Amino acid sequence: MITRRTAVTLLAGPFLLSGCGGVEATTRGAGPAAAPHPAPTTHASAPPAPELSAEAAPERIPGLGPRTAAAIPGSARQVVVVAGRGKDSSRSTVVLYERTALGWRAGPDWPAHTALRGWSDHHMGGDLRTPNGIYTLSDAGGLLRDPGSRLPYHHSGGFYSPGTGFEGEPLAGSFDYVIAIDYNRKPGTSPLDWTRPLGAKRGGGIWLHVDHGGPTHGCVSLAKAHMKQLLRTLDPDRHPVVVLGYADLLADRAA
């Protein structure tokens, strides 16, 4: 079951222990290092969303059962829903929802890869599963320069992704753009920060990042254009969160 977590409890974990930011890299080569980075940058808020009909903006996010919907913090005005095809599937769909005066406005459906073995209620480093849950989104970064992120953006050569993935695909460019998911990490720091409040065994380095064409170690990977759109849209003043889980779990149908 998805449980509500605060920004303090939902902190994320080291790259060299779990997540796409570490295990994929260390399996095939050297992982990213917590290299020095310039001060994060922030950008102005986006223009207001256009007014929509009540039918186009439901009061509750589609696909989320009442328990899951109730666990989303009341302050959240942007919600990224990552819905997996099944408990053991590495294929998911990502939709960004924004709250308007009439309800939730949905963005387009984006295909995504998640962890090789699917999903976990109790993520552990190296389990090759993406953690279920609702987590804040506080920090971003990447190997490439800031494309106009509203979240604090940490530009660093430490976002290097060498080697190949599970299906032999090159990992180069996977960390061109990343958004840290606040699982077992300290919000307000670079995604490369290795602080793990829940302990190293609980993994970490769980990111939204650029898709490399195959399953991940725990992250959510999207097309590069979609990552840039998220970076330019997610606004810390709107308290963005991500909802992670397979479809039946999110709909409160899972046992």
Domains of the chain: 23-33+56-250 (2.40.440.10)
Strand, coil or helix: what is 46?
A: coil
Residue 63 token pair: 């696909």
- 161 within 8 A of 24, measured Cβ to Cβ: yes
- pLDDT at 183 > cutoff 70: yes
What pLDDT does 20 receive?
65
219 is catalytic: yes
243 compared with 55, residue with greater pLDDT: 243
Pairing of strands 220-222, 207-210: parallel
Catalytic residue among 209, 212, 217, 239: 209
At residue 144, what are phi and psi to the nearest 5 degrees? -90, 160
Catalytic residue among 123, 155, 219, 226: 219
CA distance 242 to 246: 13
CA distance 10 to 156: 24
Pairing of strands 110-113, 91-100: antiparallel
- pLDDT at 198 > cutoff 60: yes
Average pLDDT over residues 141-158: 98
**Mean predicted lDDT score pLDDT of the chain:** 84
Share of the chain above pLDDT 90, in %: 76
Which of 132, 142, 199, 127 lies closest to 174 in space, CA to CA? 142
Which of 1, 2, 4, 19 lies closest to 184 in space, CA to CA? 19
- pLDDT at 7 > cutoff 90: no
The per-residue pLDDT for range 187-196, each reduced to its tens digit, is: 999 999 999 9
Average pLDDT over residues 57-72: 93
209 is catalytic: yes
What pLDDT does 59 receive?
86
Residues 6+ apart with CB under 8 A from 50: none
- 76 within 8 A of 135, measured Cβ to Cβ: no
What pLDDT does 57 receive?
73
What pLDDT does 161 receive?
95
What pLDDT does 55 receive?
53
Q: How many CB atoms lie within 10 A of CB 122?
A: 9
DSSP at 138:
E
Q: Bridge-partner residues for 137, per DSSP?
A: 181
Residue 97 pLDDT level (bands cut at 50, 70, 90): very high
